[in-house]
Amino acid sequence: MRYPSTPGLFGTMLALGLLLLASPTSAQAPSGPPLPPQPGQNRFPPSEPASPVRVEPAAIELGIVPPGSVHRRTFQIVNDGPVPLMVRAASPSCRCTTVDDIVGKVIPARGSLPLDAEFHAPPTPGYKDATVNIVIEGVPKPLIAKIGGDVTLQIRVDPPYVDGLKGQISGAVAMNSVDGRPFTILSAGGKPPVYAGPAPSGPSNAARLSWSIAGLDCARMPLWWIVVTDHPDCPIVPLRIRHDCTGSKADMGRFERYWIPKEQLVNLGRVQPGQAKVEEFELTHYNPRGRGQIVRRDWGEVRAVSVDSPEIEVKLLGTRTAGDNSTVLSLSFTPKPGFTGIIESELRITTASGSGSIPLVAVVGP
């Protein structure tokens, strides 16, 4: 007896297995919220690509330089990339430094371009530096070249200032002859010197001086503590007084007259009785409240100059401008014939926008 053909148990199970494998839901991962990031994942942003251009050397240290000296040095702007790059700007941070005009010049691919800089040491001692910001086309950040030096007189002072901050009203400074020549201190702070320790019995190549600003309010607080010596190459040693009254609180009239002196001391050094000495003195435009905007176009028109001392005469020989932000005065100073001694006074300058006074010091005599 024959029966019709029907699938067996094995065939049924095989068909069900193939059906499950073909189902799309069996290949998907279980749904749910995304996993939290691993600790530290994406914590730091990707770093910026390294610039293909650099300055060599990045800084030039001149060491010890005398006041008023001029130093010319050369930087190299090096392009390590495969594409030439153009200089868009090169501007010093200080008038004490000038640079040759390289704007528009091209730094060749895998080559270099020289940048000549000239550093003018100020007439007062202390460390001075300046930076040159160099803008390169296609480079996001400006390059910086730095140049500086320790402006030092033939008598070095440590510290090179009078520290009257934080309520300090007295202290001492050490003075040493750089060239080894012995010297005698003639006055300090307009008075006979007071020594910290035994006074020298005669000329010496080192001394330790005491200073005091006790009892001086802001109206009488000088900017400088002047030491006068008989050293042939260093008759005047000016020390800036660091005090709340000599910082931002000093010379409040600068906001209304729109100018400040480039140098805050007229140091004539040694001059002869009856003989004129010609000096240049620079005024710079000042308007920080207006972000440098020139409100008074006549701020640099000089109307009068005078010195608050009968022992010396000053004459204005002429002026010249250096752009909108600088006026340079040519001044002639003549001590009274027959007078010898120390002059500590003030130079008063009046322009169309107002008047200001600058400390002045001179040693008159051979």
How confident is the model over 293-338, as pLDDT tens digits?
999 999 999 999 999 999 999 999 999 997 779 999 999 999 999 9
Tell me the torsion sign for CA atoms 250, 256, 258, 259.
negative
Q: What gap in Å lies between CA 272 and CA 336, rounded to an integer?
A: 9
- Rg of the chain over Cα atoms, rounded to whole angstroms, equals 36
* pLDDT tens digit sequence for 225-243: 999 999 999 999 999 999 9
Q: Which two tokens stand for residue 125?
A: 């001692």
Do 315 and 277 touch, CB atoms closer than 8 A? no
129, 172, 297, 339 from 233: Cα distances, Å: 24, 23, 42, 21
Q: What predicted TM-score, i.e. pTM, was given to this entire model? A: 0.73
Q: Which of 9-18, 269-278, 294-303 has the lowest average pLDDT?
A: 9-18
Do 302 and 319 touch, CB atoms closer than 8 A? yes
Do 171 and 162 touch, CB atoms closer than 8 A? yes
Distance between first and last Cα of the chain:
152
Q: What gap in Å lies between CA 142 and CA 161, rounded to an integer?
A: 34
Q: What is the CATH number of domain 53-151?
A: 2.60.40.10
* pLDDT tens digit sequence for 14-68: 444 444 444 444 444 445 555 555 544 454 455 445 689 999 999 999 999 998 8
Domain chopping of the chain, boundaries: 53-151, 154-250, 252-366
CATH class of 252-366: mainly beta
Residue 201 phi/psi, 5° resolution? -80, -10
- Other CB atoms within 10 Å distance of the CB of residue 150: 17
CATH architecture of 154-250: Sandwich (2.60)
Smallest CA-to-CA distance from 321 within 290, 283, 357, 291 is with 283
Same fold, 53-151 and 252-366: yes
- 260 has which bridge partners? 284
